[in-house]
A and B are shown apart, each in its own frame.
Chain A
Amino acid sequence: MEKFTTLSGVAAPMPLVNIDTDMIIPKQFLKTIQRTGLGKNLFDEMRYGADGTEIPEFVLNQPAYRKAEILIAGDNFGCGSSREHAPWALLDFGIRCVISTSFADIFYNNCFKNGILPITLPREQIDILMEDARKGENARIEIDLESQTVTSADGQSFHFEIDPFRKHCLLNGLDDIALTLEKVSAIDAFESREAQSRPWV
């Protein structure tokens, strides 16, 4: 997993609430057996017409946002299915950070496994960043994970909260499985206890 330390990039505004994982990556693209290559189908049904041509009004089709690395999104971003294809598609497109007032639980988890930073901020701050994002390429937003800050184009800085363990893993690009396997003796011990107390499992 790629480390996440700092990011300075263009942010695309997506104020719609309840953007679900079917919108982020529709089911017909879940048939891949790989993690990569989904970027071109990110937001597919919002981004392309039925004939496959781009819908010019869609934010990521506008020249200013074609290389966006940050999304400023409406409430409850990522609700719906557990598909990790959603963060894979975001990442493949080049999005490394999503900022919203709230995220759906599984999507939020999945971001961290893929080096994407989901940031939760209060409504007033989201409103400011949303306005900022509307300015397109002229407004780069800065994110510093170490100090847990988001800085808008005109220099306003907002602090965000993040779980220390997740922060540590993102900053260092750590693989969860390797970390857990360091505790394999605890897992072994649990299993032998369970074999006694709940043998039917």
Chain B
Amino acid sequence: MTAPKTLYDKIWDAHLVHEADDGTCLLYIDRHLVHEVTSPQAFEGLRMAGRKVRAPDKTIAVPDHNVPTTPDRLQGIKNPESRIQVEALDRNAREFGVHYYPVDDVRQGIVHIVGPEQGWTLPGMTVVCGDSHTATHGAFGALAHGIGTSEVEHVLATQTLIQKKSKNMKVEITGSLPPGVTAKDITLSVIGRTGTAGGTGYVIEYCGQAIRELSMEGRMTVCNMAIEGGARAGLIAPDEKTFDYVKGRPHAPKAAQWEAALAWWKTLKSDDDAHWDKIITIAAEDIAPVVTWGTSPEDVLPISGAVPAPESFSGGKVEAVRRALDYMGLTPGQKLTEIEIDTVFIGSCTNGRIEDLRAAAAILKGHKIRDGLRAMVVPGSGLVRAQAEEEGLAQIFIDAGFEWRLAGCSMCLAMNPDQLSPGERCAATSNRNFEGRQGRGGRTHLMSPAMAAAAAITGRLTDVRELMREPA
């Protein structure tokens, strides 16, 4: 009898190449995703050392952070530094022979949306990328996490990573989500509960009925923000929904290989008596639509709440909250629903998938955005964009007054032309509300796509449940 294992233990063991006496491990990497911002120095390092990419077939590159999301990008990127970075990726991808989706390819998009969409991300795999939101891929029951540029170079050269094992944490969401409450509210609520350092040293497995009931898109939203909770990775055990999503994707296994893969994937779950170093249980019925009020993703409150006072916190957080409120231009006691916004951003690797656009469009249908508001939708990939156009969602956004953009990271982080100006306040479906994240002096409130759509209609932070109509 082998000792009972968690899903994380199982994937880890299946990828162990070498273990040193002190517990330092060499882990094999099945998929390496690469984007233009964190890879140039790594490829340059390879070149200087005369090394090759060990497994170009397992390496997938796509530009996303820097690319403008307006149609004129096909005439070339105007910002010279952005252009140089994207051109460097072009050159590196071709020279080292890795899979590549250039800007003018309909499959281009945010790396964490492209990977699953193309069937590169599969259950039981190890997936890394020089990007912290690699955690997204954990939704498939893959061990997926962000790495730094030196590690990118290490994986390119060796297809392995030097790792120490993390601890196991179980986050169980029991029961079913109430109407108007989404995957984004789950993941933000968990961070609100544990804090941004609560997951440090852990790999989280999300489980429970509410997680099972989520679509693959929703599960990706949950795992995406595992990193905001400080965890190395987030995982969800694969099930029929996972297999259905994967089946038929361009790089998913076919025929006999599909059967063999499926047989293994079905074993990928934590054993009943596996050991957990930490367990958190939250009842889905206790989760409300939430927004962030501060400059850390842990600054979360239900939309019915009010801006807290710095004195209600302890330790170093008091000063941090004082600074955050000053930055955000908010006063303690102010009701969250009274906060007026200037901009709405729907997109990012957290909420740029088809289901997210459907959820936002369902609220917007037949409405106009508040006068004077700037609102944009940025699909996570060219394929999501095409599908949304086919389903008529694009037209709903356009009719409501949204800009309908091309795929990229866009206003999730201000590395491309989509930015907030100082003091501009944004309802955003992305994952970080750090100072300056969406542009210097920009003020970010994180929320779900449905909540962002509601805010677009009223021009202030709004409880989406007030706008939800009876089904026809």
Q: A110-B148, A180-B160 are in contact. Are A28 and B196 (CB under 8 A)?
A: no
With A and B bound together, what is the CA distance between A113 and B160 in angstroms?
A: 15
Contacts of B82 on A, CB cut-off 8 Å? 31
- The interface bits of chain B over 49-86 (1 if a CB of A lies within 8 angstroms of the residue's CB, else 0) are 10100100010000001100000000000010110110
Q: Does A54 contact B (CB under 8 A)?
A: no
* B contact set with A: CB distance below 8 Å: 17-18, 20, 22, 24, 26, 28, 30, 37-38, 40-41, 44, 49, 51, 54, 58, 65-66, 79, 81-82, 84-85, 88, 122, 124-125, 130-132, 145-151, 153-154, 157-160, 162, 164, 196-197, 200-201, 230-232, 252-253, 257-258, 260-261, 264, 296, 315-317, 319-320, 323, 413-415, 422, 432, 434-437, 440-441
Q: A26-B436, A33-B85, A163-B164 are in contact. Are A176 and B150 (CB under 8 A)?
A: yes
In the complex, are the beta carbons of B437 and A22 less than 8 A apart? yes
Residue of A with least CB distance to B199: A105
Output the least CB separation between A125 and chain B (Å).
15
Known pairs A102-B197, A177-B158, A201-B58; list 15 more (Cβ under 8 Å). Answer: A16-B316, A17-B315, A22-B437, A27-B437, A31-B37, A33-B84, A79-B196, A79-B197, A82-B132, A84-B149, A105-B231, A106-B132, A114-B150, A165-B22, A187-B26
B58, B201, B296 interface centre (most CB from chain A within 10 Å)? B296
Output the least CB separation between B443 and chain A (Å).
14
Q: Does A30 contact B (CB under 8 A)?
A: yes
With A and B bound together, what is the CA distance between A32 and B88 in angstroms?
A: 11
In the complex, are the beta carbons of A113 and B414 less than 8 A apart? no
With A and B bound together, what is the CA distance between A23 and B435 in angstroms?
A: 7
Q: Does A15 contact B (CB under 8 A)?
A: yes
Output the least CB separation between A190 and chain B (Å).
5
| Cβ contact of B415, chosen from A28, A106, A109, A199, cutoff 8 A | A28
- The interface bits of chain A over 158-201 (1 if a CB of B lies within 8 angstroms of the residue's CB, else 0) are 00000111000000000011001101101100110010001111
Contacts of B257 on A, CB cut-off 8 Å? 199-200
Residue of B with least CB distance to A36: B41
16 A-B interface contacts by CB (under 8 A): A15-B316, A17-B316, A26-B440, A27-B415, A76-B200, A80-B132, A84-B150, A105-B231, A110-B149, A176-B150, A187-B26, A187-B158, A187-B159, A190-B28, A194-B28, A200-B257
Contacts of A32 on B, CB cut-off 8 Å? 81
Interface set, chain A 1-36, CB cutoff 8 A to B: 15-18, 20, 22-23, 26-28, 30-35
In the complex, are the beta carbons of A177 and B434 less than 8 A apart? no
Contacts of A83 on B, CB cut-off 8 Å? 37-38, 148
Per DSSP, chain A at the interface is: loop
Contacts of B315 on A, CB cut-off 8 Å? 17, 75
In the complex, are the beta carbons of A22 and B434 less than 8 A apart? yes
With A and B bound together, what is the CA distance between A17 and B130 in angstroms?
A: 25
Q: A23-B435, A105-B201 are in contact. Are A201 and B30 (CB under 8 A)?
A: yes
Interface set, chain A 29-75, CB cutoff 8 A to B: 30-35, 45, 50, 74-75
Interface set, chain A 114-151, CB cutoff 8 A to B: 114
In the complex, are the beta carbons of A22 and B436 less than 8 A apart? yes
Contacts of A114 on B, CB cut-off 8 Å? 150
Q: Does A104 contact B (CB under 8 A)?
A: yes
| Cβ contact of B18, chosen from A26, A82, A183, cutoff 8 A | A183
Q: Does A81 contact B (CB under 8 A)?
A: yes
Contacts of B37 on A, CB cut-off 8 Å? 30-31, 83
With A and B bound together, what is the CA distance between A20 and B435 in angstroms?
A: 9
Output the least CB separation between A72 and chain B (Å).
12
Output the least CB separation between A169 and chain B (Å).
9
Contacts of B40 on A, CB cut-off 8 Å? 33
With A and B bound together, what is the CA distance between A82 and B41 in angstroms?
A: 14
**Residue total for A at the interface (Cβ-Cβ under 8 A):** 55
In the complex, are the beta carbons of A200 and B253 less than 8 A apart? yes
Residue of B with least CB distance to A109: B148
Output the least CB separation between A22 and chain B (Å).
4
In the complex, are the beta carbons of B66 and A22 less than 8 A apart? no
Output the least CB separation between A82 and chain B (Å).
4
In the complex, are the beta carbons of A183 and B26 less than 8 A apart? yes
Residue of B with least CB distance to A22: B434
Residue of B with least CB distance to A45: B436
Q: A35-B41, A102-B200 are in contact. Are A183 and B17 (CB under 8 A)?
A: yes
Q: A17-B317, A163-B22 are in contact. Are A82 and B148 (CB under 8 A)?
A: yes
Residue of B with least CB distance to A175: B49
Contacts of A17 on B, CB cut-off 8 Å? 315-317, 319-320
Residue of A with least CB distance to B434: A22
7 tightest CB-CB pairs across the interface, nearest first? A200-B253, A113-B150, A31-B81, A33-B40, A17-B316, A110-B148, A82-B146
Residue of B with least CB distance to A113: B150
Output the least CB separation between B385 and chain A (Å).
24
Q: A31-B81, A79-B230, A105-B201 are in contact. Are A180 and B154 (CB under 8 A)?
A: yes
In the complex, are the beta carbons of A177 and B157 less than 8 A apart? yes
Residue of B with least CB distance to A179: B162
Contacts of B157 on A, CB cut-off 8 Å? 177, 180-181
Contacts of B258 on A, CB cut-off 8 Å? 200
Contacts of B201 on A, CB cut-off 8 Å? 105
Output the least CB separation between A69 and chain B (Å).
21
With A and B bound together, what is the CA distance between A87 and B150 in angstroms?
A: 11
| Cβ contact of B319, chosen from A15, A20, A87, A105, cutoff 8 A | A15
With A and B bound together, what is the CA distance between A16 and B316 in angstroms?
A: 6
Q: A75-B197, A180-B158 are in contact. Are A30 and B415 (CB under 8 A)?
A: yes
In the complex, are the beta carbons of B132 and A34 less than 8 A apart? no
Residue of B with least CB distance to A35: B41
Output the least CB separation between B13 and chain A (Å).
12
| Cβ contact of B154, chosen from A105, A164, A177, A194, cutoff 8 A | A177
- The interface bits of chain A over 71-106 (1 if a CB of B lies within 8 angstroms of the residue's CB, else 0) are 000111001111110010000000000000011111
